[in-house]
Amino acid sequence: MTENVQPGSDLQALDRLVGTWTLSGGVEGTVRYEWMPGRFFLLQHVELRQYGQEIKGFEVIGNLRPFGEPATAEVWSRFYDSTGNTLDYVYEPDGDTLTIWGGAKGSPAYFRGTFSDGGDTLAGDWVYPGGGGYSSVSKRS
């Protein structure tokens, strides 16, 4: 008997990200989100400038499901950029608030933003351990 696996509700809550967004603030550029067929993975395509550096990359966002195991409740991602970095995140949607943890949930590095304007604006702050970070505003293009 084949198990009827469905994408998790927290992952499906990220559907509001689908589309192209223009970012301003501590980072400038565009990001584009799209579903892979089956809607188990959300793909993010990134073209940004931050601190004078160009950042191009992509991110795969979804629930982990190792061989023979059930899917995780948390929505994990891995970001790959053009300079060889791989960064892991956990996405935590909660109503109009989106928290993106740098590494595991509860990490001291995170983004927390709020959707407004009918979901067409996401404004928030990246917080880094020991201080620092930046504010950003994303607007649906």
Tell me the residue range of the domain where 125 lies.
Answer: 9-140
DSSP state of 72: P
Residue 90 in domain: yes
pTM of the entire predicted model: 0.94
The answer to whether residue 32 is domain-embedded is yes
Q: What total number of domains does the chain contain?
A: 1
Tens-digit pLDDT profile for residues 103-112: 999 999 999 9
**Within a domain: 3:** no
List Cα–Cα distances, 134 to 24, 27, 35, 93, 123, in angstroms: 11, 8, 28, 20, 11
pLDDT one-digit tens code per residue, 91-133: 999 999 999 999 999 999 999 999 999 999 999 999 999 888 9
Using CA atoms in the order 12, 14, 15, 21, what is the torsion angle rounded to 10 degrees?
A: -170
Provide the CATH number for the domain around residue 127.
Answer: 2.40.128.20
In a domain? residue 13: yes
